[in-house]
Amino acid sequence: MGRHKRLKTLPALEMAATQAALERLHNHLKFDLVNLVPTEPQYRALERVSLEICAAIKVLTGDDPEWQQHALALSLQPGMVRREQ
Protein backbone atom coordinates (compact mmCIF):
# COMPACT_ATOMS: atom_id res chain seq x y z
CA MET A 1 0.00 0.00 0.00
CA GLY A 2 1.38 3.40 -0.95
CA ARG A 3 1.86 6.36 1.30
CA HIS A 4 -0.74 9.10 1.35
CA LYS A 5 0.17 12.42 -0.19
CA ARG A 6 0.68 15.13 2.38
CA LEU A 7 -0.85 18.55 1.83
CA LYS A 8 1.13 21.80 1.78
CA THR A 9 -1.72 23.65 3.49
CA LEU A 10 -4.81 22.67 5.43
CA PRO A 11 -8.16 22.74 3.66
CA ALA A 12 -10.25 25.78 4.58
CA LEU A 13 -12.60 23.86 6.91
CA GLU A 14 -9.71 22.22 8.76
CA MET A 15 -7.91 25.56 9.04
CA ALA A 16 -11.01 27.22 10.50
CA ALA A 17 -11.51 24.35 12.97
CA THR A 18 -7.86 24.45 14.04
CA GLN A 19 -7.97 28.23 14.46
CA ALA A 20 -11.12 27.96 16.58
CA ALA A 21 -9.51 25.28 18.78
CA LEU A 22 -6.39 27.42 19.24
CA GLU A 23 -8.51 30.44 20.17
CA ARG A 24 -10.43 28.36 22.75
CA LEU A 25 -7.17 27.18 24.28
CA HIS A 26 -5.83 30.74 24.37
CA ASN A 27 -8.98 31.94 26.13
CA HIS A 28 -8.61 29.16 28.69
CA LEU A 29 -4.96 30.06 29.28
CA LYS A 30 -5.88 33.72 29.90
CA PHE A 31 -7.78 32.71 33.04
CA ASP A 32 -4.88 30.57 34.27
CA LEU A 33 -2.37 33.36 33.64
CA VAL A 34 -4.45 35.86 35.63
CA ASN A 35 -4.33 33.54 38.65
CA LEU A 36 -0.62 32.71 38.58
CA VAL A 37 2.35 34.76 39.79
CA PRO A 38 4.22 36.01 36.68
CA THR A 39 7.65 35.07 38.04
CA GLU A 40 6.77 31.40 38.58
CA PRO A 41 7.68 28.60 36.14
CA GLN A 42 4.06 27.56 35.49
CA TYR A 43 3.14 31.11 34.46
CA ARG A 44 6.14 31.37 32.15
CA ALA A 45 5.39 27.98 30.59
CA LEU A 46 1.76 28.90 29.88
CA GLU A 47 2.82 32.30 28.57
CA ARG A 48 5.15 30.58 26.07
CA VAL A 49 2.29 28.33 24.96
CA SER A 50 0.09 31.41 24.50
CA LEU A 51 2.75 33.13 22.38
CA GLU A 52 3.14 30.01 20.22
CA ILE A 53 -0.63 29.90 19.73
CA CYS A 54 -0.48 33.47 18.41
CA ALA A 55 2.38 32.55 16.07
CA ALA A 56 0.52 29.47 14.81
CA ILE A 57 -2.63 31.46 14.07
CA LYS A 58 -0.57 34.01 12.14
CA VAL A 59 1.00 31.23 10.04
CA LEU A 60 -2.37 29.58 9.40
CA THR A 61 -4.32 32.72 8.52
CA GLY A 62 -1.69 35.26 7.51
CA ASP A 63 -3.03 37.67 10.15
CA ASP A 64 -2.41 38.28 13.81
CA PRO A 65 -5.06 36.79 16.09
CA GLU A 66 -8.04 39.07 16.69
CA TRP A 67 -7.04 39.78 20.30
CA GLN A 68 -3.58 40.94 19.19
CA GLN A 69 -4.98 43.13 16.41
CA HIS A 70 -7.21 44.85 18.98
CA ALA A 71 -4.31 45.33 21.41
CA LEU A 72 -2.06 46.69 18.65
CA ALA A 73 -4.73 49.14 17.53
CA LEU A 74 -5.09 50.41 21.09
CA SER A 75 -1.34 50.75 21.54
CA LEU A 76 -1.04 52.87 18.39
CA GLN A 77 -3.67 55.43 19.33
CA PRO A 78 -2.44 59.05 19.42
CA GLY A 79 -1.08 60.12 22.76
CA MET A 80 -0.38 56.62 23.99
CA VAL A 81 3.18 55.64 24.71
CA ARG A 82 4.16 52.25 23.41
CA ARG A 83 6.01 50.19 25.99
CA GLU A 84 9.24 48.48 24.88
CA GLN A 85 9.42 44.73 25.41
Q: What is the mean pLDDT of the chain?
A: 85
pLDDT at 82 over 80: no
Torsion, Cα 8 9 11 16, to 10 degrees, reads: 160
Model-level pTM? 0.72
The domains of the chain are located at: 13-75
Q: Which of 1-10, 39-48, 70-79 has maximum average pLDDT? A: 39-48
Residue 27, Cβ neighbours under 10 Å: how many?
Answer: 10
Give tens-digit pLDDT for 40-68.
999 999 999 999 999 999 999 998 888 77
Q: Is the dihedral of CA 35, 28, 68, 44 positive or negative?
A: positive
Q: How high is the pLDDT of residue 68?
A: 75
Cβ contact 30:22 at 8 Å:
no
pLDDT at 85 over 50: no
